[in-house]
Amino acid sequence: MNQPIDMKGFIQIALVVHDIDKAAKKWAELFDVPVPSIRIDTPPEVPKENLQYRGKPASYGLKFAVIDCRERGFVIELHEPDDNPSTFREFLDKHGNGVHHIGFEVGDKRDAIVGELNDMGYDLRTVGIYPGSSWTIVDTEDDLGVNLNIKPKA
């Protein structure tokens, strides 16, 4: 790659699960940490332009929890999707529980890296924009065994 991903930018492991309550308790037990709080995002009635799935505005809900490992430089995210079309629902339906993506903070190289991955034949699964940053899930699952989340900043 002309714009290789710097491994120093590794920031997350994201898992998709059928039962986030169970998974959060089991991960907390494994690491002997408090059970993380679970945020519930309900789908907007009208798809928003700042969230896209497979090139179209998306509207889905998600239960979300974070196990904070920032002292090690990363977080573990747990995602339980609703039944609406999303990258998380697609993964869960295809694979069941598992690692959906690993994330990298790449700074101002985000567009160049995503463009190069696209030129290599890796499609965008999801793009989300939020105040101060964004996230882009690139479909590298078939070749790498996992998707990539390319972020300008965490």
Q: Is the pLDDT of residue 48 over 80?
A: no
**What's the CA gap between 150 and 145, in Å, rounded?**
16
The pLDDT, as a whole number, for residue 138 is: 98
CATH number of domain containing 80: 3.10.180.10
CB contact at 8 A, 61 and 40:
yes
* pLDDT tens digits along 74-103: 999 999 999 999 999 999 999 999 999 999
The pLDDT, as a whole number, for residue 87 is: 96
- 56 SS3 class: strand
In a domain, 26, yes or no: yes
Based on the structure, what is the number of domains in the chain? 1
In a domain, 132, yes or no: yes
* pLDDT tens digits along 111-144: 999 999 999 999 999 999 888 889 999 999 999 9
Q: How far is CA 134 from CA 9, 151, 153, in A?
A: 15, 6, 8
The pLDDT, as a whole number, for residue 47 is: 79
pTM, to two decimals: 0.92
**Range of 113's domain?**
8-151
In a domain, 1, yes or no: no
Mean of the per-residue pLDDT values for the chain? Answer: 94
Confidence grade of residue 69 (pLDDT, cut at 50, 70, 90): confident
In a domain, 32, yes or no: yes
In a domain, 76, yes or no: yes
The pLDDT, as a whole number, for residue 146 is: 97
In a domain, 113, yes or no: yes
**What's the CA gap between 5 and 113, in Å, rounded?**
7
Arithmetic mean of pLDDT, 23-34: 94
In a domain, 2, yes or no: no
**Mean pLDDT lowest among 1-5, 46-50, 80-84, 138-142:** 46-50
Signed CA dihedral, 73, 134, 40, 61: sign only: negative
In a domain, 131, yes or no: yes
Q: Is the pLDDT of residue 11 over 90?
A: yes
